[in-house]
């Protein structure tokens, strides 16, 4: 006998079926989602996973992943990353509640179906072609039901100037910095002046490793010149921190035995950043 499960309308749990539907090649690029247990028994056995599902990081990764599956089926050229958030279609691709309902309507894969599975059932990875076929059907049905056709035609005729430009442009960089860094609750803006409060050592008052030092470096005009002074391994650490990875995740990806080694390298990068800033007079 099937039990009907009900959750609050705004509960992130309703997006859990979308997480398990993500193709493996897309899932592995999501540092939080890729670690989710693939059985309900394992998921419920650890209360920490409940906290993860309520986090902003969980929601961000689900939105980005599902948007990348939905966008190609709007009939616009290129990938989602060719566009910025000024494009209405880019924004539509992030309509997560709509895609969750659509997948359940087309494939019957929703929260109820997930919780109807045996607790110890290991959910297999979905076939990538099948997932994209389902998303294509979902998007096309949604366009028809919502009457978006005329609007999409107008958008094609009147594209934003920022869209479909060369990738290496200030407009695109500024947009993605804002989108991917300001959404995270872990990011706090720390000015360079705040880093320099301790005039004797200039180090003791640096923001803690969880602060937004990486965002600061990424935003400075001279960041590319500073990055060129770093070793390949330090550059890899900085890049992963900018992308929002935790120190534990960075240690795992780069082969460090403990995350404390990564913290020490970040502190060394901070010192080098201040030294570089003083030497160049920025």
**pTM of the full structure:** 0.59
What distance separates the 2 farthest-apart alpha carbons in the chain?
72
Residue 97 per-residue DSSP state: H
pLDDT on residue 74: 93
For residues 112 and 3, what is the distance between their CA atoms, to the nearest angstrom?
Answer: 8
Would you place residue 173 in the very low, low, confident or very high pLDDT band (cuts 50, 70, 90)? low
Backbone CA torsion sign across 107, 109, 38, 123: negative
Confidence check: pLDDT of 96 > 60: yes
pLDDT confidence band for 176 (50 / 70 / 90): low
DSSP class of residue 67 equals: H
In this structure, are residues 118 and 35 in contact, taking their beta carbons and an 8 Å threshold?
no
Neighbouring C-beta atoms of residue 27, cutoff 10 Å: 19
pLDDT of 256: 86
With beta carbons less than 8 A apart as the criterion, state whether 89 and 152 touch: yes
Q: pLDDT tens digits for 25-50?
A: 999 889 889 989 999 899 888 888 88
Give the span between the Cα atoms of 104 and 97, in whole angstroms: 11
């Amino acid at each position: 006998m099937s039990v009907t499960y009900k959750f609050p309308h705004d509960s992130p749990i309703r997006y859990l079926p979308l997480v398990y539907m993500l193709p493996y090649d897309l899932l592995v690029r999501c540092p939080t989602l890729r670690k989710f247990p693939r059985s309900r028994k394992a998921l419920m056995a650890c209360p920490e996973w409940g906290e993860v599902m309520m986090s902003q990081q969980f929601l961000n990764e689900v939105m980005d992943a599902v948007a990348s599956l939905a966008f190609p089926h709007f009939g616009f050229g290129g990938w989602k990353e060719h566009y910025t958030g000024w494009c209405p279609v880019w924004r539509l691709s992030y309509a997560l509640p709509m895609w969750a309902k659509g997948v359940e309507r087309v494939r019957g894969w929703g929260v109820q179906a997930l919780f109807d599975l045996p607790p110890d059932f290991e959910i297999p990875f979905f076939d990538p072609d099948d997932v994209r076929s389902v998303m294509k059907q979902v998007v096309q049905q949604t366009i028809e039901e919502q009457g978006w056709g005329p609007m999409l035609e107008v958008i094609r005729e009147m594209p934003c100037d920022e869209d479909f430009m060369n990738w290496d442009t200030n407009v695109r960089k500024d947009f993605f910095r804002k989108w991917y860094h300001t959404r995270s609750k872990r990011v706090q803006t720390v000015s360079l002046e705040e880093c320099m409060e301790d005039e004797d050592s200039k180090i003791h008052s640096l923001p803690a490793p969880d602060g937004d030092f990486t965002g600061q470096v990424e935003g400075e005009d001279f960041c590319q010149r500073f990055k060129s002074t770093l070793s390949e391994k330090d550059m890899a650490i900085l890049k992963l921190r900018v992308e929002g990875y935790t120190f534990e995740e960075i240690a795992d990806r780069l082969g460090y035995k403990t995350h404390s080694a990564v913290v020490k390298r970040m502190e060394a990068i901070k010192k080098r950043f201040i030294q570089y800033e003083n030497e160049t007079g920025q």
